[in-house]
Amino acid sequence: MSTRKTVLLIGGVDAHVDRFTALGVEVVLIQHPDKVTEHQTRAADVLLVVDYTDWDTVRPFAEAARAVYGVDAVVSLTEPGLNPASRLGDLFGLTDGRRHQVSRRMRDKWLMRRHLAEQGLPVPHAAQVTDRASLDAFGTLAGYPFIVKPVSTTAGFGLIRAESPQDLDRVWARVRELDGGRTDRGSTMFTVDGFLMESYIDGPEFSVEALSFAGRHVVVAVTEKLTAEDHFAELGHAVPARLCAAERQRLTGAVEEFLTAMEVTDGPSHTEIRLSSRGPVVIESHNRLGGDHIVELVEAAYGIDMIAYGAAWPLGLTEPLAEPPAPKAAAVMRAVVREPGTVSAVSGVEEVRARPGVLMAQVSVRPGDTVRPLRDNWDRLGSVVVTAADTDTAVELCERLVGEDIRIDVEPEAAPAPARAA
């Protein structure tokens, strides 16, 4: 009898499939019709193309796959696959029976805030948006500015900053526009199913990348984020973050306490946190790998392949990390952004890609494309990833390449013509 293990993989990208095939396991991939690639059709042993975000659709296919091929683990390393994968793992008796509850709590920001408050951890003021009056009431309670955001989307989609009582009509109009619909950019796999209000958290923002092994959390990296106050797009990441030892310990300790309180026991996590005037405050967290090339930054800086750990650990095919790794280099990503208008020319990308220390350079626009005002991650035009001996050097190199060496000429939006006098 074959001892080859079988994974039921829910969604993901080519790199996720590759890490499982490298382990020599049989890969039964359930992939969304919008996300299938030619590489996946070749690499997966079995490919089932269904909308895995719909439980009534995915369950019978998963049960049939288990009956035919046998399943040793159900895994997803991508945001929309987390809940169905954990639910199937519980259903098949492959987990402790509580993974879906934990996954829902991690994805639903309102459930997360309520659970943390019940556990006695510090949380900002938070409440659900129920109607126009709830915005007024929250502003009176928490003060201004405050943040309004969907309870379970990603990449900064739908985030709104309420600046004052006079701004609430605009906020309410945006909430009504988005609520109940699908995300309209980047990926349509997320439904906007309600909004949450939170008091504004000040201070620099970081993310903590961790791997959990049977309840023991190992911080692999602290990522420094480049953000701005006038939009919710992430403009860059740097690993390792430029922090003193005490600041790093405060952040990692807060995240370890958070993961334990949320009952995360196994696999990768990506926790966004601010070092605020009141101390470290978790903004949100995900029981998955960090996106936006963070896994590539971590591997370049620390030599740790977090995707490989996320694949091997659920199948019992790797030993846990004994301790946090020490950095051997630095790595930085910077987003390519430009002012709104119409792209007239693009150049320099191939030259940047060929430079020493450049791990990746990509631009997603061509002449004739529209550059939108910068609101969230989907409005960015591309990115560059570099590595260097230290973070300062990597930041300086990456910012120069993005700002000077990659050329994107944009014709500004025409100003509206002035009205003619009667």
The CATH number assigned to the domain holding 408 equals 3.30.470.20
Domain end: 105, 134, 168, which one? 105
Q: Give the chain's domain count.
A: 4
* Distance, CA of 185 to chain centre: 15
User: What does DSSP assign to residue 419?
Assistant: P
> Looking at the structure, do residues 185 and 208 belong to the same domain, yes or no?
no
Please count the other Cβ atoms lying within 10 Å of the Cβ belonging to residue 69: 15
> Looking at the structure, do residues 16 and 69 belong to the same domain, yes or no?
yes
| Beta strands, E only, 227-339 | 236-239, 267-276, 279-286, 330-336
pTM value? 0.90
> Looking at the structure, do residues 318 and 208 belong to the same domain, yes or no?
yes
> Looking at the structure, do residues 335 and 319 belong to the same domain, yes or no?
no
From CA 50, how far away is CA 65, in angstroms rounded? 13
> Looking at the structure, do residues 205 and 323 belong to the same domain, yes or no?
yes
> Looking at the structure, do residues 205 and 310 belong to the same domain, yes or no?
yes
For residue 418, being part of any structural domain is answered with no
For residue 177, being part of any structural domain is answered with yes
CATH number of the domain that residue 182 is part of: 3.30.1490.20
Edge to edge, what strands does the sheet with 26-31 contain?
A: 46-49, 26-31, 6-10, 73-75
> Looking at the structure, do residues 218 and 324 belong to the same domain, yes or no?
yes
pLDDT digits (tens, 9 = 90+) for 17-38: 999 999 999 999 999 999 999 9
Cis peptide before 240 (omega within 30 of 0): yes
> Looking at the structure, do residues 339 and 324 belong to the same domain, yes or no?
no
Domain of 356 in residue numbering reads as 330-413
* Distance, CA of 264 to chain centre: 17
**Terminal C-alpha separation, the chain:** 89
Supply the pLDDT for residue 402.
94
Find out whether 131 and 168 touch, Cβ atoms under 8 Å.
no
Supply the pLDDT for residue 420.
56
> Looking at the structure, do residues 346 and 387 belong to the same domain, yes or no?
yes
Q: What's the burial of 103, exposed, middle or buried (CB within 10 Å: 0-12/13-18/19+)?
A: buried
For residue 298, being part of any structural domain is answered with yes
> Looking at the structure, do residues 289 and 335 belong to the same domain, yes or no?
no
Segments of the chain with pLDDT less than 50:
1, 185-186, 422
Supply the pLDDT for residue 139.
95
Please count the other Cβ atoms lying within 10 Å of the Cβ belonging to residue 131: 10
> Looking at the structure, do residues 208 and 324 belong to the same domain, yes or no?
yes
Edge to edge, what strands does the sheet with 382-388 contain?
A: 279-286, 267-276, 205-213, 216-226, 236-239, 330-336, 382-388, 358-363
Q: In this structure, what token pair is assigned to residue 283? A: 């903004």
Handedness of CA 57, 58, 64, 67 (dihedral sign): negative
Supply the pLDDT for residue 159.
86
From CA 322, how far away is CA 235, in angstroms rounded? 33
Domain end: 278, 296, 328, which one? 328
For residue 254, being part of any structural domain is answered with yes
CATH number of the domain that residue 53 is part of: 3.40.50.20
Supply the pLDDT for residue 44.
98
For residue 21, being part of any structural domain is answered with yes
Supply the pLDDT for residue 182.
57
pLDDT digits (tens, 9 = 90+) for 257-276: 999 999 999 999 999 999 99
Domain end: 183, 199, 215, which one? 199
Q: In this structure, what token pair is assigned to residue 98? A: 């509580």
> Looking at the structure, do residues 314 and 224 belong to the same domain, yes or no?
yes
